[in-house]
Structure 1
């Protein structure tokens, strides 16, 4: 029995919005039949397009959020939030300056550091490193170092005059805890013939893994007193790194320091040092959102084309319903339900798929690596050891809302065309 004959038997006479008759008829239009097979194929592709578009948007935005969160935590967690360097004279009163800085509201750590470039070598190879001189109490107060020691220990760090190195550096040089690493710097002792390189061997007392390949492959932590002697520092330090309670309050803490500085200092912060890097991440994130939104838009346009073809195919049925008393509103709602159903079901399916995938992305990546026998996530290229994912539910809600709005808008024109159809002309054409 055709939809037109059903309409003759069950067209409602009332004006109830979205009546059961309208849902029934919309459901029949969505089912696959031989005569409307091509229309059903278009509807299927529209559904898949919206589902994959929404899922991909959620997954990609979650990974981008994870990238920013992990990079921010690791870069700022190891390097500090604010950096204080001297202006008029060397920072030889660093202990007093650090003590005063720790009293400023919002500051939890103030760590004096000696920094210098050097070459680390072993019997296996050599690599450029950044040597950071720090006291034992201060290195133990940095969570990303103290909580991620994989070999050895930081106990007795100052007394043993050993060094702590990153896991990737240890791997590239073939070192284990207890082995010896040689540190070479061109700025050594001054002689009548010029400055001689300084070469000294140190025991590896600890091997840590921050989880960021660049840091794990380049950082060498040395006891503060030893680093001052090694880099010819006359009892002073390069910089005091300041860690604050909330990185988003950096400017407020800077203002407090500048209002009553312990001595003339030049202040810089993590936003200035990493501005280009995080701006690039933000631009990439916005571009990816726009590109992936186009997938949902194309799928919504497929809904338009599918509904227009359905309206043409159902012209006779629409005319019969109109002659039997169906209002233009009834016809409009039937096709609104038909098109919106594709968008709503596709969006909900994409929501479920995207959230499940984003929450289990590490397991899925591990399974893909196992199946293909390849490492699809190279940490030396992507900075982080694991692929991160952080779901922002506000973003998820905005993606779902956007997909639903686009799907609904896509149904308006075909539904309006169906409602405006003249039953007399349609029957004559039929």
Structure 2
């Protein structure tokens, strides 16, 4: 330590020395604790936001494909040829045909709108986890000649149907008959329900066999699209480039970032706003450092005057007091990082303990689809929080240290 510059040695010594003024010591401790609390809160909240983002993305993409190929009129008439063309495309691990249309479902006096998916059980498990979401039954029970249907759990409750009941599916397009224009409809037998954990699907989705959907919507041999699953959901551009060389110009590709762009942008914006709001905690702690450092400068005026008379330059004095503030800020930041990382990595243990101790749930299962607090620690977030805390601490030391550097020895020693 003796090899360190004297400014740094004095700054460290002043930080460790006992204060004549107990209030200054209290301000130092509160500033350090405030920075630690702000850093810990930011790390934990960013981890929870990351966890929610990953959880929502996985739930959405468990039902929807990473990419889909369709025609400009939303019909794909040669889907089997396209299916063969995408088999050896890098990153593509599955493909399945899909018919997707809006419809009306009726049971007794209950009528509601729903999205109707026509799927082929032989292909569907390659791209989605729908089979795992079915509570009682399997996609294999869908048969193109029996007119069976699976309903989202909330959709079934809304209609008041149970397994074995008959629901009427009404197509939005009408047919011309001798009796006039009549809507097309067909009665389906409810084979069971599924629960994905996403309101959009559980309350607004019905699934039938692709042949049944083709009949009621008059698709013939066509489908709405061929949906693809990738081994890396972020490998969108390489797959697009490969598909562009294999598909003709009448087809186009839509990926998950385009389908759910607004949703994920909203989640990202919310994360940024939470970061800014919680950064105010660190900012308040930095203001405490300003107040504490001003009091230290006032308390050490005579020491500053002696150092100036011994040859210390104003820049040396300024650096010495900056060291004190940075030590407090760095200690608070490191403490906050340790506490924040430990808490973020153990939220799955801490949150249930708090719920059991105080007898409440952060996310009641009967209200929220995600009943547990997810957490995903990102070290880039930790680095960003640490840099922010250090930058605010550095700014907080500039004015007090500048004020210390301007103290004139004669004025400071006049009344000593």
Please, which of 111, 114, 127 is the counterpart of residue 129 of structure 1?
114
- Out of 69, 72, 77, which is 1:84 matched to? 69
**In the alignment, is residue 36 of structure 1 matched against residue 22 of structure 2?**
yes
| TM-fit CA distance, 1:424 | 3.6
**Does residue 173 of structure 2 align to residue 201 of structure 1?**
no
Distance verdict in 2 for CA 1:332–1:288, change over 3 Å: same
C-alpha distance in 1, partners of 2:360/2:164?
A: 32
Mark the runs of 5 or more structure 2 residues left unpaired by the alignment.
none
In the alignment, which residue of structure 2 is the partner of 1:8? Answer: none
Cα shift readout 1:36-87 (whole Å, capped 9, x = no counterpart): 32x3343343223312221222123223323333333333342213322234
**SS in structure 1 of the partner of residue 96 of structure 2:** strand
Q: Does 1:182 align with 2:167?
A: yes
Relative to structure 2, which stretch is displaced further, 59-68 or 304-313? 59-68
- Deviation for aligned residue 1:210: 2.7
The answer to whether 1:257 aligns with 2:239 is no
Distance 1:24 1:390 in 2: 40
Structure 1 residues 28 and 171, CA gap change in structure 2 (3 angstroms): farther
Distance across 1 between alignment mates of 2:133 and 2:234: 25
Partner of 1:278: 264
Residues 239 and 50 (structure 1), Cα distance of their counterparts in 2 relative to 1, 3 Å cut:
same
1:78 alignment partner, SS class? coil
TM-fit CA distance, 1:217: 2.5
Q: Which of residues 73, 78, 90 is equivalent to 1:105?
A: 90
Instruction: State how far apart, in whole Å, the 1-side matches of 2:218 and 2:356 are.
Output: 51
How many pairs were matched up?
411
CA distance in 2, matches of 1:121, 1:326: 92
Q: TM-score, normalised by structure 2?
A: 0.82
Which of 47, 68, 78 does residue 93 from structure 1 map onto? 78
Partner of 1:23: 12
Relative to structure 2, which stretch is displaced further, 182-191 or 48-57? 182-191
Mapped partners of 1:171, 1:367: distance in 2: 34
TM-score (norm 1): 0.80
Structure 1 residue ranges without an equivalent (≥5): 1-11
CA distance in 2, matches of 1:90, 1:427: 89
**Aligned 8 A contact 1:91 1:238 in 2:** yes
Question: How far is the alpha carbon of 1:27 from its aligned partner?
Answer: 1.7
Contact 1:118 1:183 in 2 (8 A): no
- Contact 1:13/1:326 (8 A) holds in 2: no
Cα distance in 2 for partners of 1:220, 1:263 equals 32
